[in-house]
Structure 1
């Protein structure tokens, strides 16, 4: 509906061209025998398929020639009123434009449309206080006919008051939510700091234990490697000596053969004879050295073998975690946890000392923690995790 502002055209449009049913400018105005005029579609909805209707203004009954829309269409058109309305609309459109015909940016836009898909194109112009809902004309006729519907614009002051009350309630709730969020953030920060401090205490205890174990492991590992090296050194030296001797014989044979072939090509009888004798003696000498009973397989097996034995590693707990009644401030520390951690560390050091006692030979000490089985568990230990084993 085209609503006017404070202009004369707007007042004229409201007072003269407004349908009493839809409260908007007439569309195809039809006049009843009583003289009152209404929109054709408003009358069609009002008749609702019957052959008679009561004037919404004076309640005078009117009998239609046909039922429903067909009966409304044969009613007399209010042509003079329609023509006058057209002239007023032209005047209103010119009022809503600027000097050069441009649209006036201050003109009030149309209201929202009804969300009901069956009422497409219908604007929301009414307010139903019973349902607290904004409705269109068709909603009024179909669902809210006896609810005391009012024009939406007329309820604006009341709606504004209610909107302000709801807005204040919303703002109050927002402040409460903000306060709670701030409290939660502060509590979370305290918990994060507390957790970090406790985690550092665990890391400190674990690091000390790892350093003690790692130092002992490195020391014993070096001793084992030195012992293995001594076992393998004899065979390695024997093989190197044999290899050097064979390489020397190979070089002598290669040189003698090359010299003898040169004498033969130069046809020097004396040199050929003496070279042949020398090469023959060298061959006998090298053959004798090759038959000297050196057995490579024997030398390779004359070594040592590292045989890991099963080990038992104690449970590594480092300490214990206990629930607290309420969160402590970030600067507070758990003395009890520190004492427990120190006690656990001392126990582990004692166990380590027992493991490392009498560890001269890898074969004679089944409880040596430097065996392969213990070393396989070491990465787990270094990671600070609990390693459950059978004691």
Structure 2
């Protein structure tokens, strides 16, 4: 039996490009030994070349980190070719690839066997003891001992959705070795019995997950899944349109520059300065516009990825989970979507499509007294995808709210701490 186990790595900034602040892609290093993504340094060099041309200076660029000067290997080289000729940092790439491979599946062994210097793959897990067990130990030791006979045993071979649960397979975030058994309406959070003597000792609105109606929680999870699917359709559409918009803007930008370049052929001396000025202004504004669109695109793609996860987990827990697991999934998925929605809402003003407009000067033939080649403008086309998504998010908040679920048909004054766990009095609560 295998589970996914990712090693915890403290990488700092070693594997992060200082330009894009992301993990390196095709890392290239400068003579000063500072490393950057090939595309990032190419874009940086391109801006530097444009500045040098406008200022009629020798072409060069400064290292983004240490400001050391770098000159082209040959004359009239493009920024892309210059970046491509920079040496690749194979050592850094190899280390990053090696660390990435640490996220492989590792076997889980029976803890009882391991205590006796044996190694057998675990196929069961006791929810109360939090122990992984092989079939032999589970059958002949754990289940036949009177003290363990009432414990709940999970067959790891059948729990397909377990590894997808957020927050550690129904375990308490404050006490990772304890199972979630209680919902606190005061704090709107899940907790274990140990939490009741610490953070929730003064809370009065507590309820055991065992008391939640299974049909109600199914209805809530079904609402979560349904609204998630609707949000996923909207986000998918937004991603497609943004990608198409970016592609179109890139094409239009290229057409503007190429057509302008054709017209300035033959009158090079005067038009070189004008074209360089236009190219620099257009490239700068274009990069800002594309950066804004790309930033929102990345957030939408992350939101779309999380929606896929919510959908997958919701479907799985509906098919195979018990009511506790369904409630845990409902709570965590609702929180995940709520957090993502806050992030999208903060970027609502940037969630627009852009349109590149170009007004060329009519009398280009009379270039002697020209001061500019034309005007361009990126025009926002409002499309409030966030509002559409938020409509479904509000439905989830209202119709799939864990607090509403546990309080349904129960007056708040009746939610006494003694009802926390069936058969468990407050005097039997664990001591910290």
- Based on CA coordinates, which of the two structures has the bigger radius of gyration? 1
Greater strand proportion: 2
TM-score by length of 2: 0.27
Tell me: higher relative CO, structure 1 or 2? Use CA pairs within 8 A at least 6 residues apart. 2
Greater helix proportion: 1
